[in-house]
Amino acid sequence: MGSVTDSPNTEAGKKITVIFVLGGPGSGKGTQCTNIVQNFGYTHLSAGDLLRAEIKSGSENGTMIQNMIKEGKIVPAEVTIKLLQKAIQESDNEKFLIDGFPRNEENRSSFESITGIVPEIVLFFDCSEEEMEKRLLGRNQGREDDNIETIRKRFNVYMESSLPVIQYYDSLGKVRKIDAAKPIDAVFEDVKAIFEKVVA
């Protein structure tokens, strides 16, 4: 890891390392994030989990988020980013995995301008639509959104909105693409090789 001088990512004197974790629904991001946390000591922040926790807290902010979701509106990027920023500031850790965010180009530019944090790298779990479909349909978790039409819709939305983010970071040489179609253990071997370089 670099020193404070070669990175703009400083928060209250801490040198912050942020890694964005991107990949389509069913690409295995959650499983690999758990492995990274256990092996490399990162704190895992999921934008969706933070929004749900805020709603549960019953705060004014939480009520506003809940109402927006109920009305089918998209929660503004600033709201999600402020929750991520708060989680980073309140944590004793300096290394963070941010999972499933930024979802689109607007999220990305807002995150960098609000927090002043640029990700160290972007982990991109690359998986074919067929493989993701197979996994989501085989999950049997009783999730209502795991039917074929919904899966395809989610995949298309993901491709349209997230690809520009991946292309942007790729142009900066920050994307580390992982073949997520491989078995879980094989995928983690690839992840480990990347993290050993980041941590070094």
Binding residues for a ribonucleoside 5'-phosphate: 52, 73-75, 100-103, 143, 154
Residues contributing to the annotated binding site: 26-31, 52, 73-75, 100-103, 107, 139, 143, 154, 182
| C-alpha span between 66 and 54 (Å, rounded) | 9
Q: For residue 112, give the 3-state DSSP assignment.
A: helix
Residues contributing to the annotated binding site for ATP: 26-31, 139, 182
Residues contributing to the annotated binding site for CMP: 107
| C-alpha span between 125 and 133 (Å, rounded) | 15
| C-alpha span between 79 and 86 (Å, rounded) | 11
Residue from 23, 183, 1 nearest 95 by CA: 1
| C-alpha span between 7 and 25 (Å, rounded) | 32
Q: 139-142 long-range CB contacts below 8 Å, 24 or more apart?
A: 139/26
